Amino acid sequence: QVQPVESGGGSVQAGDSLRLSCVDSGRTASDYGMAWFRQAPGKEREFVGGITWRGGAHMFADSVRGRFTLSRDNATNTVYLHMNSLKPDDTAVYYCARPQRGFIGADIHDYNSWGQGTQVTVSS
C-alpha cells in the first residue's frame, strides 16, 4: 500500500503560521478524505482535523479550532493543514492518515495508512 507523505514542518515562533502538506499518491476513488494527527513527546497521538475529498467538509479538534484550517487539491491528491497563531503547545510531530472507511474520526484505529510525520516546533 502506498503511504501518504507529509512535508512543510519546521521551527517557528509563537504567533507565526505554517503550512503542512500531505500527498496521498495511494488515494482511490472510494477514499473518503484525510486526517491530521499530532504527537508530542510523552503524549499520545491526538486528532487535529480532517477534510473530505468530495465536498471539502472540515472537522477540527477543540484545541486548534479557529486557528487551523484545511484545504485540498484533488488533482494532486494533496491535503494542506494551515496553522495560524501557533503556540508552544502545538509542538509535535504531525502525521496525515487515510481512513479505512467512509468517515473521519479521532480514533487512531480508524486509520490504516499513515505518513512518517513532519516535525513542527513552536518556541515562545
Over range 25-40, report the average pLDDT.
95
The mean of the pLDDT values for the chain is 96
Asked if residue 1 has pLDDT above 90, the reply is no
Question: Please, what is the Cα angle at 110 between 68 and 39, to 5 degrees?
Answer: 45
Count of CB atoms situated within 10 Å of the CB of 67: 15
Residue whose C-alpha cell is 477534510: 51
First to last CA, the chain: 39
Per-residue pLDDT at 17: 98
Render pLDDT for 80-114 as a digit per residue (tens, 0 to 9). 999 999 999 999 999 999 999 899 999 999 998 99
